Copies of this chain bind each other. A is one copy, B any other.
Amino acid sequence: MARREGFDCYCVSFDYGQRNCRELDAARAVASSLGATEHRIVTVDLRAIGGSALTDDIDVPKDRPTEAMAAGVPVTYVPARNTILLSLALGWAEVLEAADLFIGVNAIDYSGYPDCRPQYIKAFEAMANLATRMGVDGRRIRIHAPLIQMSKEQIIRRGVELGVDYSLTFSCYDPDAAGRPCRRCDSCLLRAEGFRGAGIPDPAM
């Protein structure tokens, strides 16, 4: 969506101690296939903080119905994760003198992650404009979250329209040793629902 709006894209992914690094390979492949100018991986050791099923020794929940997903902050919530990742992206943006940051958070399908809500994104943007040399110099930093109010079904449809190769993408929180998705974690279930709703077969499954 950023490319379609005419932006040159400097993509950043994070090796933050998540259980699986398959998503980093997928991010690299997707960035390359969509014509990113550059893709960097920044390392930050969130295992030193812990507190999440994605970084700590806590089981990833499986086979949860959508209502259970919506019932509270899940154990897969990584404390302050989007704040940490947006902050690191903001640091690189300052070096690049880039005032437009895009993040793919999505608030609609389930309400459990506080750092996926529009009011959070607005507050981060206000803070970013005070935190940085760009802000002091009068450039207006904008945090774009174009997927935030879309359903998973709408996201899949929009991606297909834009030519996203979904066979390169990866969503699972807890793949097996061979890197295959578990098909049972919240992320796999929501992905499946999105493809089903859009009436499109998932080429990565």
How far does the alpha carbon of A127 sit from the alpha carbon of B131 in the complex, in Å?
12
24 contacts between A and B (CB under 8 A): A41-B48, A42-B48, A42-B49, A43-B43, A43-B48, A49-B91, A51-B91, A51-B94, A73-B136, A78-B91, A79-B93, A79-B94, A80-B128, A83-B90, A83-B128, A84-B88, A114-B130, A114-B135, A115-B130, A115-B131, A119-B130, A120-B130, A120-B131, A127-B127
Main secondary structure of the interface of A (DSSP, over half): helix
* A29: Cβ under 8 A from any B Cβ: no
- Interface residues in A71-103 (C-beta closer than 8 Å to B): 73, 77-84, 87-88, 90-95
A40-B48, A114-B133 as given contacts; A90 in contact with B94, CB under 8 Å: no
* A150: Cβ under 8 A from any B Cβ: no
A79-B132, A120-B127, A133-B73 as given contacts; A91 in contact with B95, CB under 8 Å: no
| Interface contact A123-B130, CB-CB below 8 Å | yes
- Interface residues in A48-85 (C-beta closer than 8 Å to B): 48-51, 73, 77-84
